[in-house]
Amino acid sequence: MLILGIESSCDETAVCVAHDGTEILSSVISTQIEEHKKYGGVVPEIASRRHCENILGVTKKALEDSGKSLDDIDAIAVTYAPGLIGALLVGVNFAKGLAMASGKPLVPVHHIAGHIAANYIVHPELKPPYLCLVASGGHSHIVEVLDYTKFKIVGRTRDDAAGECFDKCARAMGFPYPGGVHIDRAAQSGNKDTYKLPRPAVHGSEYDFSFSGLKTAVINLVHNSQQRNTEINKNDLSAAVQNAISEILSEKTINAAKALGYDTVAVAGGVSANSGVRAAFEKLCGESGMKLYLPRKDLCGDNGAMIACQGYYNYLAGYRADESLNAVATLSLEEI
Ligand code: KG4
Ligand code: ZN
């Protein structure tokens, strides 16, 4: 079955045509990063306007690249939550119009479930149940993937998400938005032990995260060095930040997997592209004999393929939306 997957929750307008969820016939991504860079972060109104301008062209290109026409499509899947409300509304309204005009079923997809599904595209052997860390710009969740459409969150961030921490530390160091990838590059030639950074103590749930203390420590380090007119070694500080975030994410996830009896772990979301995070998971999973699944690098960030893939599983599970479908800025994975 052919699904058209539409994503517009943040600063990427992305559309994909996929066969049976995992065979990607085309995937087109129009990113707005260059424009938001000027402001040091995503400007919601600009994001909505660009989605509005681009979504039809991106959809036409995805259909053209796949060699299929709208008539060939069996269902239209769209991200309806969570994300920037004005950005989500563009995709939702466009998908509704397309579905209603063509008489095709409309399938709502939760963005985080989409990130999780990205792993199925390259790892057909990965099947629920397993434990997945989802680390993106807005979320850091440890999720029990009970089935393709059933999730239980066992850990979450109390403050900043991991991607947000990468981006804010990068900004303090003078890297452009989004800074995670710049920290990743600089860390390659840095010494992780030059700067000592704190590890958070999170009381209550042992699988919850907290990144604001780490972020504040990095901002203070940079400001103090500016006041003393000394230079920060950006490579070393990047290596220290990356090492701290990678350790925190991987240790908590693997501890949760052991405690909950999972022998299979996956990582998803934009931060799963980070080389330090990938290496930390490879090391810990190797040591504890767990199977590890990491998304292909081009499927870590926002894309339409992950929405088409999750849309396929949602379709099989009977998820349908009608003309009353609305966008939702905040919605837990457990509420879908
Ligand atoms: O999943 P995503 O594309 O969008 C959201 O749903 O939020 O995640 C974006 C986040 C940003 O914070 C970005 O800096 C981070 O993922 N990111 C990285 C890397 N690539 C993207 N962080 C660290 N290292 C990377 N290589
Ligand atoms: Zn995302």
Residue 67 lies in a domain: yes
Encoded tokens for 87: 């950005």
Q: What does the pLDDT look like over 206-234, one tens digit per residue?
A: 999 999 999 999 999 999 999 999 999 99
Q: Is the CB of 269 under 6 A from ligand 1?
A: yes
- Looking at the 3D structure of the chain, how many domains does it have? 2
Cα–Cα distance for residue pair 16/30, rounded to 1 Å: 12
Beta-strand pair 264-268/130-135 = parallel
Q: Are 136 and 269 in contact (CB under 8 A)?
A: yes
Residue 122 lies in a domain: no
175 sits in the region (left: phi over 0; alpha: psi -120 to 50; else beta) called beta
Residue 212 lies in a domain: yes
Nearest atom within ligand 1 for CA of residue 170: 14
Size (the chain), residues:
336
Reported as type and span, the H/E element at residue 85 is: helix 85-102
pLDDT band at 281 (very low <50, low <70, confident <90, very high): very high
Q: What's the rounded mean pLDDT across residues 236-258?
A: 98
Q: Is the CB of 21 under 6 A from ligand 1?
A: no
Residues 173 and 72 in one domain: no
Q: Is the CB of 138 under 6 A from ligand 1?
A: yes
Q: Is the CB of 178 under 6 A from ligand 1?
A: yes
Q: Is the CB of 82 under 6 A from ligand 1?
A: no
Residues 200 and 95 in one domain: no
Q: Which domain holds residue 68?
A: 2-116+300-335
Q: Is the CB of 180 under 6 A from ligand 1?
A: yes
Nearest atom within ligand 1 for CA of residue 276: 24
Residue whose CA lies nearest to ligand 1 atom number 1? 270
Q: Are 168 and 178 in contact (CB under 8 A)?
A: no
Q: What is the mean pLDDT of the chain?
A: 97
Model pLDDT, residue 272: 98
Q: What's the rounded mean pLDDT across residues 109-132?
A: 98
Model pLDDT, residue 175: 97
Cα–Cα distance for residue pair 289/42, rounded to 1 Å: 40
Residues 230 and 212 in one domain: yes
Residue 204 scores a pLDDT above 90: no
Give the distance (Å) from ligand 2 centre to CA of residue 58. 18
Nearest atom within ligand 1 for CA of residue 245: 23
Whole-angstrom CA distances from 156 to 117, 132, 160, 268, 277 are: 19, 12, 10, 14, 17
Residues 143 and 276 in one domain: yes
Residues 54 and 154 in one domain: no
Encoded tokens for 74: 């069996």
Nearest atom within ligand 1 for CA of residue 273: 26
Give the distance (Å) from ligand 2 centre to CA of residue 136. 6
pLDDT band at 200 (very low <50, low <70, confident <90, very high): confident
Residues 152 and 290 in one domain: yes
Residue of 140, 166, 297 with the most ligand 1 atoms within 8 Å of its CB, for mutation: 166
pLDDT band at 201 (very low <50, low <70, confident <90, very high): confident
Identify the nearest ligand to the CA of 178 by its number. 1
Give the distance (Å) from ligand 2 centre to CA of residue 119. 14
* Bridge partner list, 26: 17
pLDDT band at 43 (very low <50, low <70, confident <90, very high): very high
Residue where the block lists tokens 């599970």 = 317
Give the distance (Å) from ligand 1 centre to CA of residue 204. 27
Q: How many CB atoms lie within 10 A of CB 65?
A: 15
Residue 56's CATH number: 3.30.420.40
Model pLDDT, residue 236: 98
Q: Is the CB of 314 under 6 A from ligand 1?
A: no
Model pLDDT, residue 52: 98
Residue 180 scores a pLDDT above 90: yes
* Bridge partner list, 143: 132, 153
Give the distance (Å) from ligand 1 centre to CA of residue 137. 5
Q: How many CB atoms lie within 10 A of CB 1?
A: 12
Residue 75 scores a pLDDT above 90: yes
Give the distance (Å) from ligand 1 centre to CA of residue 300. 8
Residues 49 and 160 in one domain: no
Residues 260 and 162 in one domain: yes
